[in-house]
Structures are given as structure tokens and as C-alpha cells.
Amino acid sequence: MPSAIKQKYWDARQRLEQWSAIYFGGNHAFRDVVLKEQFRSAKAITPVVGETAERATAAVRWLVAGQDTTPDGGVSYGYFPVSPAAGWDVSYPETTGYIMTSLIGFARRTGQADLIDRAFRMAQWESDIQMPDGAVQGGKVTTPDRQSAASFNTGMVLDGFVSVLQERDDCVLARAAERAGDFLVQDLNEIGLFETHGPFVSADAIKIYSVLSAWALYRLGELTGTARYSNAAIRAVEGALKFQQENGWFAYNCLTDHLRPLTHTIGYTAQGILEVGVAAGRDDFVVASERCLRGVLPNIQPNGYFAGRFHSDWRPAVRWVCLTGSAQIAIVAYRLSELRGNGEYLAAANGLVNYLKAVQHVDTGVEGIDGALAGSYPISGDYMTAGYPNWATKYFLDALMLQADAAKIALTPAQQVPVNLAMSVT
């Protein structure tokens, strides 16, 4: 049997097993959530206008619960009721890294100091499990003998290290950050691409979305005053831009299907290029990120619906929504709206975020669901099917914070706001 046909067979079999577990398993609350979504078109969601602060605190509470469910200080990979984990999964080093930055951002806006303590605990754990060469492992947490390096994951944890070090001096974390930075510098090839991707993504030699690591590397250069980190970050962006088309689309820019990249990895790339451009004063980088945003804008519907994958001519490739990607594109649009004073970008960002509010569950009574975003909408979509990955909620929180900033809305410490909001959807 040819490998492509064999893969389709196994994918179909896995999907059948998931649906069987959803409908005939014992998790009735999750089954009810799935059934409700199956009878609502992704294109017909009524967005939620307002409730920015309340939705942000619900997201923070979910992320906090994700840390509290693990024994090690990391944040759970997510809540997956019909997976072998049957609920909260084990810690995930990659995304625990950039969750530190999100919680610190919320703490700075609200004065909620306990979130700084939580981020510090995450950073200590990341330092404890860092690989000998400074890299961060791919995949869920495992034993040292089974770790495999991944440059992208290293960059995401470096981002968290830098954010924590901006709040607290710690010589152990400072050394861990430098080791991660050294690994990334050494991993860049002659054309400016990171080379070590690990076994948890498809085996393509090029992964353009890894350019998000350049932002963390540039931040480390600023923090330490070390030019080689900043210079390497600029080289990485210049390398990524070799793969951008005139219409803003990037080739080789997906975890699994480089001909139809996820909005998730499109968002990674656009954000990394944008933020290095802003920090380095490179408007050509900012223009490149803006070109990507302008490519996707016509596909953002008035209610915020936004397909989860795109062909190279920006035609939608699927009907389901990659909720993480929608949040990431909203973040880029908020930042470019601020930089360019462009009302169209602000409207697009608000539309995306208001859609996401409408599909954030807050009243199921299930700790693993309330406050979270699913991988896809509907939850049966092909990205992180039937689960709530922690990075979806992390990016949703980031987008909500930028929406609050743009509208001058004061956020409230998470412990002071109830999570029993009514769902404002039809």
C-alpha cells in the first residue's frame, strides 16, 4: 500500500476511534460540548463584543490550572478528554516557555504578582530539563535519554527566560538563557535558516516558522548587550524572507503540509519578522510582515471567521478554523495597527478576537474546558482535534491583552473575577 494511502487509512481510523470515544465514552460534559458545536456552522458564529477583561481572566485561570495539574512546574500540554491522557496531559516544555511571557504580561497590566512567581517556577523547571548543548527538547516532557533537540522549542523557552530575567536577576536562569542562545546561533546555516527541527514535525529540511526564535534571540541580545545574538536574529529574518512570495505568502511554512500552511505557522512567521523588525529598526522587515497580513485580510469575514489553512494564492484550503492561528494573526494586526495607525488592521484584529470569545467556553463546569480555546472550531477540525492545547489559550490571552490596550480597558487580576460568564453565541 503506498505511503500516502496508508497515512489516509490511519488518519481515518484514528478519527473513527476519536468519535467513538466522544460519543460512547464516559465524559458526558465533553460530549455535550462537541454535539453543540457540530450543529453550529463555523461561518455563522455571532461574535462577542465586549467582555475583554472577563475573557482574559478566564484564560489566565485555565493556564494556571494547567500548571497546577502537573507535578513539575511546567504547564500541561493541554486538556484532551479522549486521548490516552483522558484529560490533562503532561508538561510541554516548548509552550511553557512562551506562556511565561504571557503571564508576566498579564501581571504587569494587573499587578497580580503571583503570576511572576509562577513564571519563575516554570523557568526553573525549564532550566532543570535543558539539554547539555543548551537546546530544548521537542515534544512532551520526557527522560533525558529520550530527549531530541528542536531549535523552535529552544527559541520559545528562551523567550520565557528573557521575560523572567527582566523581572528577576537569577544567575542560573541567565546562564540557561545564554546556553539556549548559543545553541540557536550555532544552529543557523549559511543562508540564515535554523536546521534542527526534531522528530515531532514533518521531515522537511526547511521550517520557515522557526524564525519566531529570532525574536527571542534578539531580545537576549538586548538584555545581555551581546551583539552576536542580535546579529544572528537579523540573519535569521533575512533568511526567512528569501522564501516569501510577492503576495506575502511563505513557502515551507508549516508543521505538516507546506503547500497549505496553517494560520498557526503563518502567525509565527509574521510575528517573528515583525518584532525583530521593530526592535532592530528594520522597516523592511515590518513591511514584509505587513505584506503577509494584507494577504490574509480579505479572508477575514465580518464576524471574524477565518479558515485554518491557505494555498499559496491565499485561497482557503479548509473550512474549519485554527483558533490558535486566528489569535496569532490578530496579534500581528494589533501591532501593525499601532505602528501604522491603520484602522483596517484594528478592525480585523477585533473581528478575529470577538469570534474567539464566542467559541471560548466558560460555563461547562469542567476545569479543563472553561476558559480554554480548542485547537479547531469545530473541535472536530484537523488541528489538535478533540482537545484544548495550552498554546491556543496562551495566544488568545495575548490577543485579549492587546485588545484591552487598544481600547484602554483595564484588566482585572484573575483571582477577583468569576468565570461563570454566559455564552454569547447562537
Contacts of 340 (CB under 8 A, 6+ apart): 290
At 158-207, the pLDDT tens digits run 999 999 999 999 999 999 999 999 999 999 999 999 999 988 888 778 99
Q: Is residue 426 part of a domain?
A: no
Q: How many domains does the chain have?
A: 1
What pLDDT is recorded for position 82?
A: 87
- The fraction of the chain above a pLDDT of 70, given in percent, is 93
Average pLDDT over residues 6-25: 68
What do you get for the CA distance between the two ends of the chain, in Å? 45
Q: Is residue 344 part of a domain?
A: yes
Q: Is residue 20 part of a domain?
A: no
**Structural domain for 357, as ranges:** 37-415
Q: Is residue 11 part of a domain?
A: no
Q: Is residue 386 part of a domain?
A: yes
**3-state secondary structure labels for all residues of 362-377:** CCCCCCCCCCCCCCEE
Q: Is 142 helix (H, G, I), strand (E, B) or coil?
A: coil
pLDDT band at 6 (very low <50, low <70, confident <90, very high): low
Average pLDDT over residues 302-330: 98
Q: What is the CATH number of the domain that holds 61?
A: 1.50.10.10
Q: Is residue 347 part of a domain?
A: yes
Q: Is residue 17 part of a domain?
A: no
What pLDDT is recorded for position 8?
A: 63
Q: Is residue 14 part of a domain?
A: no
With 60 as the cut, is the pLDDT of residue 9 above it?
yes
- Helical segments of 82-226, H only: 93-110, 114-129, 151-165, 171-187, 212-224
What count of other Cβ atoms lies within 10 Å of the Cβ of residue 310?
Answer: 22
91 pairs with which residues across the strands? 76
What's the whole-number average pLDDT of the chain? 92
Determine which helix (DSSP H) or strand (DSSP E) holds 255, and give its type and residue range. none
